[in-house]
Amino acid sequence: MALIEIDQLNKIYNTTAVAVHAVRDVTLRVEKKEFLAIVGPSGSGKTTLLNIIGGLDNPTSGKVLIDETDLSTLSSSDLVEYRLQHIGFVFQAYNLIPVFTARENVEFIMLLQGVEKKEREERAIDLLKQVGLSKRINTRPAQLSGGEQQRVAVARSLASRPAFVLADEPTANLDTESAESLLDLMEDLNQKHEMTFIFSTHDERVMRRARRIITLQDGEVVSDKIVEQKK
Amino acid sequence: MLLALAWKNIWRNKKRSGIIVAAITFGLWGGLFSSAIMVGMTESMVETAISRNLSHIQIHKVDYDQNRDIRNFLPDGPRILSEIEDFGGVSAAEGRTLVVGMAASASSSYGVNITGIIPEDSKKITDIYSKIVEGSYFGTDKRNQIIIGTKLAERLNLKLNHKIILSFQDLQGGIAYIACRIVGFFKTNSSQFDEANVFVLQKDLFRILSTAPIVHEIAIRVQNIEKLDMVMASLRSAFPDLQIESWKDLAPELAYLSQNANIYMYLFVGIILFALLFGITNTMLMSVVDRIRELGVLIAIGMKKSKVFSMIVLETVFLSLTGGLLGIAIGMISIAYYGDTGIDLTAISVSLESFGASAILYPILPVAMYLVLTVMIILAANIAALLPAWKATHLVPSEAIRTY
């Protein structure tokens, strides 16, 4: 059974005078442990597709099943809970809570899950060590570099022990060194911890690392390739 | 952790939060201090009136209010007075002989209430003796001593040791005269009282009237003002044929002021809080608008809308309580300070004295007010939080995340 099954997915925005078909008849399956990039030019529907997979947006038609759960059957409140328990998010602009330290940012999602304080602290410190920030545990985001902030965001996305991580343009704001280092980390987590990563990107650096690349154009899947990993 | 987040969030924009905290602090301080002055003035008017001549309880013949004739005295008054002095809950009592008459000097005359007293008894009931500004309070053994108010002295152009002629109806319906020598001038907080009242010794009145002791009014001080109603009930039961009235019955306007001072106070502070509520709402709305992306992320990663709502409410309560508690603290300190030293309003003493208030005001506020106010602040904060919290919980995370 696939981790994610997407069947005949369509998303049409009617917010302007002209209806915009952002996602058109997308059908695909994502298996566990995949390291997948959804690529395409701006406006091709990458982010919309990612948002629908992440339960942040509703499709106009079609289905998204995650571990056999049909997201369209969940209420708004259940979707929030589902995201909390099953999906990790990494955003382009890091989006950490600025008044919290790195550890508190990672802990916060576990607090929402109701994890005990001691376990929260231990897991947060452990995750920050995994992403190479053992010396920056009690540092606030403003004192961290972009690459370090994104590493905290990765640690936060893993803190809830999700089924997969959705990363929307995670390297867009990073310099080459930070981007490569972040991708090393994500690859490592994928290979050693079997974490599934789904990227939305048009960054060549990510595409070079992805083992499967789905290309979107005008909301349609125009190619779906399994690729040899290249460095 | 949610509490910590809410607390930290309100200090992210220190200038904006500082301004609203200052507005709440000074708004509440102003409201509290004004209320304390209002309550202090009311209390002062009540206490002054009670100490001046009202006392806690007065006893008259049933129809004395309608007929203030000299002959309408309490039957067997001295015996009743003697019984009341030993009555449970009574601290002190004095019998007063009341006569309405004219006071005349060489240059003018004026209608006055003549009160015959025994100074030693009167001292236990009123504080007129402490209001003597010139001369003494019946300090000699001489006959026909009188003390009058400074206001009356001005009107009749009288000085210490001058003579004053009192004329009034006697017990037979004729006119009696008594020439008194002024031994003292009193000045109370009420210029009206000072102009219309004179005090003489009862024995002088009885001699002029050729009568055995008569009493028109028995004034009583109770031991514990909280038990006033209980003492009243006992007296009414013991003396069913007499008119027994508390200060509240005798001065209903003062009783009304006293009873409603707290209501006005809550209303006043409530209006201030209501006005502040809009400022708090505005600050929190700005705070939410500034954090749309962050709130969108929180909802996206799994923070339930109820928790987002609680967080905004908590932030509003923290913000309001910070200003509120500071305002209460400054209010408490300033009220305690001026409650001890008093606020000198002698510059406007003439107008204050015209309605019986002291020129030195001692602001006072019941302790319960501070507790009620804290609850009112929390309540106002919750109301102020509704709109910002509603806005925060109605964000669409997929759109909010992309807000820059």
Q: Is a pLDDT exceeding 80 seen at residue A120?
A: yes
Work out the average pLDDT over B250-270: 87
pLDDT at A149 over 90: yes
Instruction: Record the pTM.
Output: 0.75
Contacts of B17 (CB under 8 A, 6+ apart): B10, B11, B283, B319
pLDDT tens digits, B333-346: 999 999 999 888 88
What pLDDT sits at residue A229?
57
What gap in Å lies between CA B42 and CA B257, rounded to an integer? 7
Give the model confidence (pLDDT) of A164-178 as tens digits.
999 998 988 888 888
Output B246 or B401, whichever has higher pLDDT.
B246
Q: Would you list the DSSP string of B147-209?
A: EEEHHHHHHHT--TT-EEEEEEE-TTSSEEEEEEEEEEEE--S-HHHHHHEEEEEHHHHHHHH
Look at A99 and B9 and tell me if their CB atoms are within 8 Å.
yes
Question: Distance from B24 to chain A by nearest Cα, in Å?
Answer: 25
Does residue B242 contact residue B87 with C-beta atoms inside 8 Å? no
Nearest Cα residue to A182 out of A213, A139, A205, A151:
A151
% chain B with pLDDT above 70: 99
Residue B193 has pLDDT above 60, yes or no: yes
Query: What whole-number distance in Å separates Cα of residue B282 and Cα of residue B275?
Result: 12
Mutation target to probe the A interface, by most A beta carbons within 10 A, among B301, B307, B403 is B301
* Contact status of A111 with chain B (Cβ, < 8 Å): yes
The answer to whether A173 faces chain B, any CB pair under 8 Å, is no
In a mutagenesis test of the B interface, which of A57, A84, A95 is the best target, namely the one with the most B β-carbons within 10 Å? A95
Are B2 and A84 an interchain contact pair (Cβ–Cβ within 8 Å)?
no
In chain A, residues with a C-beta closer than 8 Å to the C-beta of B302 are 80-81, 83-85, 109, 112-113, 160
CB contact under 8 A, A56 and B305: no
A179 and A160 Cβ atoms separated by less than 8 Å: no
Spell out which residues of chain A touch residue B305, defining contact as CB-CB under 8 Å: 77, 80
CB contact under 8 A, B1 and A111: yes
The mean pLDDT value for B146-171 works out to 94
Which residues face A6 on adjacent strands? Answer: A28, A64
- The full set of domain ranges for chain A reads 4-226
Closest to B61 measured CA to CA, from B50, B47, B76, B72: B72
pLDDT at B387 over 90: yes
Residue A231 has pLDDT above 60, yes or no: no
Predicted confidence (pLDDT) per residue in B101-120, tens digit: 999 998 899 999 999 999 99
Domain boundaries, chain B: 2-50+254-400, 63-240
Asked if pLDDT for residue A118 goes beyond 70, the answer is yes
Say what the ipTM of the complex is.
0.89
Contacts of B5 in chain A (CB under 8 A): 97, 99-100, 108
Q: What is the average per-residue pLDDT within A207-217?
A: 93
Across B357-377, average pLDDT: 85
Look at residue B14 in the predicted model and tell me its pLDDT.
Answer: 87
Closest CA of chain A from B358, distance in Å: 54
Section B153-172 average pLDDT: 94
User: In the predicted model, is pLDDT for residue B356 greater than 70?
Assistant: no
**pLDDT of residue B285 exceeding 90:** yes
Task: State residue A230's pLDDT score.
Answer: 52
pLDDT for the residue B355:
67
Interchain CB distance below 8 Å, A97 and B5 = yes
pLDDT, one tens digit per residue, over B3-54 is 888 888 888 888 889 999 999 999 889 988 988 988 888 888 888 889 998 9
Span B114-128, mean pLDDT?
94
Q: How confident is the model at residue A24 (pLDDT cuts 50, 70, 90)?
A: very high
Q: Distance between CA B80 and CA B104 in Å, rounded?
A: 34
Whether A167 contacts A132, CB under 8 Å: no
Q: What percent of chain A shows pLDDT beyond 70?
A: 98
Question: In the block, which residue shows the tokens 């529907």?
Answer: A45
> What distance in Å separates the CA atoms of residue B150 and residue B187, rounded to the nearest whole number?
6
For residues A184 and A169, give the distance between their C-alpha atoms in angstroms, rounded to a whole number: 16
Can you give the pLDDT at residue A178? 87
Q: What is the DSSP letter of B51?
A: I
Q: State residue A112's pLDDT score.
A: 92
CATH of domain A4-226: 3.40.50.300
In sequence order, the 6+-apart residues with CB closer than 8 A to the CB of B276 are: B23, B24, B27, B28, B380
B297, B304, B398: residue with CB nearest A51: B398
**Residues B148, B150, B151, B153: is their CA dihedral positive or negative?**
positive
pLDDT at B95: 96
* Shortest distance, CA A211 to any CA of chain B (angstroms): 26
Average pLDDT, chain B: 90
